[in-house]
Amino acid sequence: MTLRSAAPEGGDYAPPGRRVLRLGPASWAWRPRAAAVCLLAAVLLLALFARALVAFDDYPMGIAEAVRVLLGGGEGGQHFIVFELRMPRALTGALVGAALGLSGALLQGIARNPLASPDTLGIGWGASVGAVAVIVVGGSAGGVSGAAAQFGVPAGAVAGGLAAAFAVFALAWRAGVHGGRLLLTGVAVSLICANLAYWAMAWSDVQDAARAQTWVTGSLHAADWERVGAAAVALAVLLPAALIAARTVGALGLGDDTALGLGVRVDRARAGLLFCAALLVCAATAAAGPINFVALAAPQIALRLCRSPEPPVLASPLLGGALTLGADQLAAGLFPVQLPVGVFTSVLGAPFLMYLIIVRHREARL
């Protein structure tokens, strides 16, 4: 990788005085502030991850004890607590939060609207409907069992999320897709999917409804190494694809005519970004259920910290992971009974959503 002064050379462009990072045919403008935010977010994420290993539940453990267990020492009970209870939960939270943060950055870049997120566009609820449908249809009736039950619920979540994303894109299409129409269509699809999920739970028996509750509220309580592996594989595949697809977000933010003038196939680029974002949300929901407002808040916090023109695609997943881990630890420690992290983020996210609506309204009046 090389660092050179900016110049409109070989098709690359950056503002005067800005440097450009080159890696083969790809290049990025060097932004020191964004790099500093990414570094601080990574440090915060690591600190929260370490805290999750030493002081998360009713079995406090010192840092020295945790390090000794990680190095292969410690007692059998400590080994079980760290490697079977706390680490899968922390890793699942970090991976799910990163996927949600990146998907939110992509969706807000597509819609050019800070209110766009998997929560408001219905993709998360679509994934929930798919998972709940598999549980209700194949639960007590015995239609899905064994390996089919183990993989059927995540597969249902992925299918439901992709179906919701396709419905939003198709219903919003009017000789192209525009941000406002995409957002309104997504809100309608979100409400429909939410009601379908609750209707399916009301139709099922008590045991199936209790099992399906995780896929409606969002929780890390049941995290295990299987979910960690699935989420890690999904993020390892989708993260590079999303970063490559995100190279068109900046051009889309300049408007359709300008993006077309720069050689961007606008509708194809939006469809690709929406597909990547939907897969990221489906992978996150399949691992932990819907954790609302992380995908909405992380890109907006990253945007304000980096002072970038569009939601940053590197800082957003780092902050998404940190937000999810922090919210899970607060939900577990603030109250006498541990709350699902999805419930806690919903409570915190509602005021942030109102703040974004007020800011958006003020900007529209200027």
Give me the pLDDT at residue 223, please.
86
Domains and CATH numbers, the chain: 36-54+63-364 (1.10.3470.10)
CA distance 124 to 113: 18
In the chain, which ranges are continuous DSSP H helix? 32-54, 63-70, 76-80, 87-111, 118-121, 123-138, 146-172, 179-203, 206-217, 225-245, 249-252, 256-261, 266-288, 294-306, 315-333, 341-365
Q: 211-215, 320-324, 340-344: which has the highest mean pLDDT?
A: 320-324
DSSP reduced 3-state for 277: helix
pLDDT digits (tens, 9 = 90+) for 355-364: 877 877 777 6
Give me the pLDDT at residue 11, please.
43
Band of residue 157 on the pLDDT scale cut at 50, 70, 90: confident
DSSP reduced 3-state for 336: coil
Q: Which two tokens stand for residue 32?
A: 């020191």
pLDDT digits (tens, 9 = 90+) for 160-210: 888 998 898 888 887 666 767 888 888 899 889 988 988 888 888 887 787
CB-hemisphere CA count at 13 Å for 181? 11
Give me the pLDDT at residue 145, please.
56
DSSP state of 338: P
Instruction: Measure CA of the first residue to CA of the last residue in the chain; give whole Å.
Output: 43
The answer to whether residues 270 and 116 touch, using CB atoms and an 8 Å cutoff, is no
49 Cβ contact list (under 8 Å, min separation 6):
90, 91, 94, 325
Give me the pLDDT at residue 5, please.
47
236 Cβ contact list (under 8 Å, min separation 6):
none
pTM: 0.85
Which has the closest alpha carbon to 214: 128, 143, 310, 140?
128
Q: Which two tokens stand for residue 126?
A: 């679509």
CA distance 289 to 275: 19
Give me the pLDDT at residue 202, please.
84
Residue 209 to residues 161, 224, 344: CA-CA distances in angstroms?
A: 20, 22, 21
pLDDT digits (tens, 9 = 90+) for 302-326: 999 998 888 888 999 999 999 999 9
Band of residue 16 on the pLDDT scale cut at 50, 70, 90: low
Higher pLDDT, 218 or 56: 218
Q: Which two tokens stand for residue 136?
A: 């209700």
pLDDT digits (tens, 9 = 90+) for 116-152: 888 788 888 888 888 888 888 776 544 555 555 567 7
